[in-house]
Chain A
């Protein structure tokens, strides 16, 4: 695979990963979602932004292993996306004692 093709594929994968995080981010809010879950998905979204930016702003170049890892995360995100159709999944919502604080 040429370096151009690898780079374009990397940018596309990183864009898809960012979009999956964006779709979850718009469904969350501080009243209902557990802070741990919010922070975890925030870090994932931030990593996606970093993956998009890295080849543009620095000399870092994507490799097949990094792309394989990103593809695997995207597959997890896509496969679990149907749990988010009705909003934040029950297991990710705050338990009552978290709301009391």
Chain B
């Protein structure tokens, strides 16, 4: 049986906090906090927000940032062995700062895809024409 820790070394403190924070903690904690920091600005710009809605907004933005950057980090590290965690922290901050701006990004993406599809279909018709 392991003896009780008698000193609070840095490893012990980190282990305690990681245990408190659970599976979301650990090395991905930087991504969570970066997204939280970024999401504060869009929260301030929103009109007529209750505390409940504000908390849900922060939760939603942080989860989005963690899912996007966490999976990207895992993929980059597993496939290309790139230490992507620090770079992804910056990305998480900007995802958080984007907040509800995802709507306009998705709309622009949809419009771009629609324009590409339209151009391709026109190209196909032109190629078939005599």
* Chain A interface residues (CB < 8 Å from chain B): 2-4, 7, 11, 21-23, 25-26, 28-31, 33, 38, 41-42, 45-46, 49-50, 52-53, 55-57, 59, 61
Contacts and interface: CB of A to CB of B under 8 A. Distances in A.
B93 to A, nearest CB: 10
A42 B45 CA distance: 11
B51 A23 contact: yes
A53 B54 CA distance: 21
A59 B17 CA distance: 13
List the 6 closest A-B pairs by CB distance, nearest first.
Answer: A3-B8, A53-B33, A26-B54, A49-B37, A29-B47, A45-B40
Contacts of A29: 44-48
Interface of A is mostly: helix
15 contacts: A4-B8, A7-B8, A22-B51, A23-B51, A28-B44, A29-B44, A29-B45, A29-B48, A42-B40, A42-B41, A42-B44, A50-B37, A52-B33, A53-B29, A59-B10
Interface of B is mostly: helix
Nearest to A3: B8
A52 B32 CA distance: 11
B40 to A, nearest CB: 4
B30 interface: yes
Given A2-B8, A61-B10, A41 B17 contact: no
Contacts of B46: 26, 29
B45 A30 contact: yes
B13 A53 contact: no
